[in-house]
Chains A and B, each alone.
Chain A
Amino acid sequence: MKTRLVLALSAMSIVAAGCEFDHLGRPVNRQRFVMGIRGEGRIVYAASGKNGEQSGECALPECRTTVDFDTVIVLTPFAGDHYRFKWWDGLPASNLTCYGDVPNDDGTIKVNVAYRDSACIAVFEAIGGSGTTVPGAR
């Protein structure tokens, strides 16, 4: 049985970002983590941390979350029809970087969210490079 959720998807504004500390210097705040897509596709995520696990999907340009300190999130990109996964990007406009490990061959990436905010955006590109292609069309 899953315990308390470690990752709370929210359409609301993001809570205060960054890492704060208790009177013993331990990090107590939760970090900001944004996942999302560019192009056509979706991300399947599986998050685990001290307080439990949560999994789900994100198929929006930005799925904003807050995450318990030291949560590990595994992100797997699934390209839509006629698209393929290209790379993981951050959100430069928000000064957020994708601090993930080197992706697997299928693009799966592991992100350990602690001490710093992060954003991982899956970039999908159209196969053929000129928009959606239709099978069989010439």
Chain B
Amino acid sequence: MAVRLGDDAPNFDADTTEGPINFYSWKGTAWAVLFSHPRDFTPVCTTELGALAGLKREFDMRNTKVIGLSVDAMSDHRRWKDDIKDVTGHALNFPLIADPERRVSMLYDMIHPNASETFTVRSVFVIGPDNKVKLMLTYPASTGRNFQELLRVVDSLQLTVSHAVATPADWRQGEDVIIVPAVSDDDARRRFPGFVAKKPYLRVTAQPADTILESAATSHENVPKVRR
């Protein structure tokens, strides 16, 4: 049965490049990104894992653990690590699950038979501290993922679970956010002084200061803010 938003993320035991793990024990109370790639020693996947390794510090700053998966054997994972570093300059710094029996792949519905009956597609699951699935992404084999986008959605998820706000289209760390409709105007004036109502249902306010994260991935970005 397919995993859906809000579901408990299935727990599993697996062999990884950093040793055997129980997913829940490994994850603990952190956030987690569980993602699959189609195959080791392939071009797009090599760039993806290198890109993610380069952003590992950013995920650490967000209390978010990262773990990859493919149906390749552990011996392939271990040999492939050298290529990833060679090509991208980033050594693999997170565990990779070897799932040749496709147990975890099937558990998370990462094999889409009309794309490939054997290999995982590019799935991403963001799992919260409560072990619930917070976000899912699915890309085909031909399209490498944007891991800055993954950081962006983690920022949004972490912001919106702790404050009564949502994030608009293309929102980025530090930009204005939307006050959720469940908050009355009176309550909004108290909690978000100075908010701007563009429409009765669209009220914009600054991102709560205690949630603004200054990091290498965001502090040098010069993107236009949502106009208030």
Contacting residues, chain A, for B114 (C-beta < 8 A):
24, 26
- Whether a CB of chain A sits under 8 angstroms from the CB of B148 is no
Known: A26-B114, A99-B76. A114 touches B143 (CB 8 A): no
Contacting residues, chain B, for A69 (C-beta < 8 A):
116
Contacting residues, chain A, for B119 (C-beta < 8 A):
70, 114-115
- Whether a CB of chain B sits under 8 angstroms from the CB of A38 is no
Tell me the dominant secondary structure on chain A's binding face.
Answer: loop
Tell me the residues in window 71-123 of chain B with beta carbons closer than 8 Å to chain A beta carbons. 73, 75-76, 114-119
Interface string of B121-150 (1 = CB under 8 A from A): 000000000000000000111110000000
How far apart are the CA atoms of A25 and B140 in the complex, in Å?
Answer: 5
- A55 CB to nearest chain B CB (Å): 21
- Whether a CB of chain B sits under 8 angstroms from the CB of A101 is yes
Q: Who on chain A is nearest to B112 by CB?
A: A26
Known: A27-B116, A70-B117, A70-B118. A115 touches B39 (CB 8 A): yes
Across the interface, do A115 and B141 meet the contact criterion of CB distance under 8 Å? yes
Interface string of A28-72 (1 = CB under 8 A from B): 000000000000000000000010000000000000000001100
How many contacts A-B (CB < 8 Å)? Answer: 47
Across the interface, do A26 and B115 meet the contact criterion of CB distance under 8 Å? yes
Across the interface, do A19 and B42 meet the contact criterion of CB distance under 8 Å? yes
How far apart are the CA atoms of A24 and B139 in the complex, in Å?
Answer: 10
How far apart are the CA atoms of A97 and B79 in the complex, in Å?
Answer: 11
- A36 CB to nearest chain B CB (Å): 20
- Whether a CB of chain B sits under 8 angstroms from the CB of A116 is yes
Can you identify 27 A-B contacts, CB atoms within 8 angstroms?
Answer: A24-B114, A24-B140, A25-B115, A25-B139, A25-B140, A25-B141, A25-B142, A25-B143, A26-B114, A26-B116, A26-B140, A27-B141, A27-B142, A70-B116, A70-B118, A70-B119, A97-B41, A102-B75, A112-B118, A114-B39, A114-B116, A114-B118, A114-B119, A115-B39, A116-B39, A116-B41, A116-B42
Q: Beyond the given A25-B143, A114-B116, please list 19 additional residue pairs across the A-B interface where CB-CB is below 8 A.
A: A19-B42, A21-B140, A24-B115, A24-B140, A25-B140, A25-B142, A26-B114, A26-B116, A70-B117, A70-B118, A70-B119, A99-B41, A102-B73, A102-B75, A112-B118, A115-B38, A115-B39, A115-B42, A115-B119
Interface residues of chain A, those whose CB is within 8 Å of chain B, are 19, 21, 24-27, 50, 69-70, 97, 99, 101-102, 112, 114-116
